[in-house]
Amino acid sequence: MKVGASAAGAAGIERRRIEVEPQRTAVTRADLRGAIARAHQKLTGRAPSAAALDVLTAHASLETGSGAKMYNYNFGGIKGAGPTGETARCRTKEVLDGREVEIRDGFRAYRSLDEGALDYVRLMRDRFGGAVARAEAGDVDGFARALKQARYYTADESKYASALRGLAGSADGAASRTVQARPEVSSAAAVFPDSFELGRVLDAIARHPRTIDELDPDEA
Give 185's pLDDT tier (boundaries 50, 70, 90). very low
- The per-residue pLDDT of the chain, averaged, comes to 77
Digit-coded pLDDT (tens) for 112-122: 999 999 999 99
| Cβ atoms of 188 and 167 closer than 8 Å | yes
Domains in the chain, please, with CATH? 3-211 (1.10.530.10)
DSSP-assigned letter for residue 14: -
Digit-coded pLDDT (tens) for 49-102: 999 999 999 999 999 999 999 999 999 889 999 999 999 998 777 667 777 778
Q: In what order do the strands lie in the sheet with 86-96?
A: 18-20, 86-96, 99-108
- The values of phi and psi at residue 75, to 5°, are -75, -35
- What's the pTM value of the predicted model, to 2 decimals? 0.72
Contacts made by residues 145-153, CB under 8 angstroms, sequence distance 24+: 151/1, 152/1, 152/3, 152/128, 152/208, 152/210, 153/208, 153/209, 153/210, 153/211
Q: Helix, strand, coil % (nearest 5) of the chain?
A: 45, 10, 40
